[in-house]
């Protein structure tokens, strides 16, 4: 590959935003290939979980490619729109993973519905506050935060947590790791919301942190989505063996 070709792919290679978009896209695509190509090695009841992991990273890879193009064109609003479309597709799928691994303990579709609805509320209200009703960002952010903490409660202390304890063993261990991803790994997203909507709000001090949220988002997305998939993959390997 020539230097000129690399520049076309990456844009300004010295720009950390463009670079992390490109690396994030490639990492997500590689993870997708890994998950999809490994499907045949698992028992049928675990293939769906690994398939969903592959779909999560594949959807993210496609959106990251478009976000990289938007970043190179300076179209910041398009980056935000693409990012929320990505999240609206991938975050509910990440919530689906909890249901899939807990089916062995008798998880019902009501858990699946609750997790998907809460994730959609979290994301739609976040989008409304960050793009449509920026003058009411604090209110929309509050609604988004309530949905987020409802998810946290469900997986740490609610019905999902109880099912994980009943399953025990490898399922409980995997569930706990996924819970930590949601509690710690996802915290970057509300921080980004505060930075992105700080103008005129009571939390305007967050805008003074000087954080490049696209870089942080890109790193966090890769860790969270690929990490989620690897936890599920590891569980599937153990249960198949």
pTM: 0.89
Position 2 in a domain: no
Mean pLDDT value across residues 138-144: 94
C-alpha distances (whole Å) from 149 to each of 17, 109, 118, 121, 196 are 30, 21, 9, 12, 20
Tokens, residue 136 = 């009411």
Position 6 in a domain: no
Mean predicted lDDT score pLDDT of the chain: 89
Rounded percentage of the chain residues whose pLDDT exceeds 90: 66
Position 130 in a domain: yes
Q: Give the pLDDT confidence of 147-198 residue by residue, as tens digits.
A: 999 999 999 999 999 999 999 999 999 999 999 999 999 988 988 888 888 7
Mean pLDDT value across residues 97-109: 93
Domain range for 228 is 14-240
Task: Look at residues 67, 68, 56 and name the one whose alpha carbon lies nearest to residue 31.
Answer: 56
pLDDT of residue 10 exceeding 90: no
Q: Give the pLDDT confidence of 15-42 residue by residue, as tens digits.
A: 788 888 989 999 999 999 999 999 999 9
pLDDT of residue 202 exceeding 70: no
Position 92 in a domain: yes
CATH number of the domain residue 31 falls in: 1.20.1070.10
Count how many domains the chain has.
Answer: 1
Mean pLDDT value across residues 126-139: 92
Position 192 in a domain: yes
Rounded Cα distance, 43 and 96, in Å: 19
Position 8 in a domain: no
Position 164 in a domain: yes
Mean pLDDT value across residues 219-232: 95
Position 171 in a domain: yes
Mean pLDDT value across residues 69-80: 83
Cβ neighbours, 10 Å, residue 147: 19
pLDDT of residue 5 exceeding 70: no
Rounded Cα distance, 55 and 70, in Å: 23
pLDDT of residue 211 exceeding 70: no
Q: Are 206 and 198 in contact (CB under 8 A)?
A: yes
C-alpha distances (whole Å) from 14 to each of 22, 126, 220, 223 are 12, 31, 20, 22
């Amino acid at each position: 590959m020539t230097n000129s070709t690399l520049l076309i792919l990456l844009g300004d290679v010295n720009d950390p935003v463009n670079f992390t978009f490109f690396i994030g896209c490639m990492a997500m695509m590689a993870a997708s290939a890994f998950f999809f190509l490994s499907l045949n090695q698992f028992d049928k009841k675990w293939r769906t979980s690994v398939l969903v992991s592959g779909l999560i990273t594949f959807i993210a890879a496609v959106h990251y490619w478009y976000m990289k193009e938007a970043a190179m064109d300076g179209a910041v609003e398009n980056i935000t729109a693409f990012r929320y479309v990505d999240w609206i597709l991938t975050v509910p799928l990440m919530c689906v993973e909890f249901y899939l691994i807990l089916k062995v303990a008798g998880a019902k579709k009501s858990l699946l519905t609750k997790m998907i609805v809460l994730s959609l509320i979290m994301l739609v209200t976040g989008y409304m506050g960050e793009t449509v009703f920026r003058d009411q960002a604090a209110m929309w952010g509050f609604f988004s935060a309530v949905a987020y903490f409802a998810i946290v409660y469900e997986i740490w202390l609610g019905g999902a947590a109880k099912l994980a304890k009943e399953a025990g063993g490898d399922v409980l261990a995997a569930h706990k790791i996924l819970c930590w991803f949601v509690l710690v790994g996802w915290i970057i997203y509300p921080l980004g919301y505060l930075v992105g909507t700080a103008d005129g709000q009571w939390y305007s001090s967050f805008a003074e942190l000087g954080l490049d949220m696209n870089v942080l988002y890109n790193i966090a997305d890769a860790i969270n989505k690929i990490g989620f998939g690897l936890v599920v993959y590891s569980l599937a390997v153990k249960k198949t063996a």
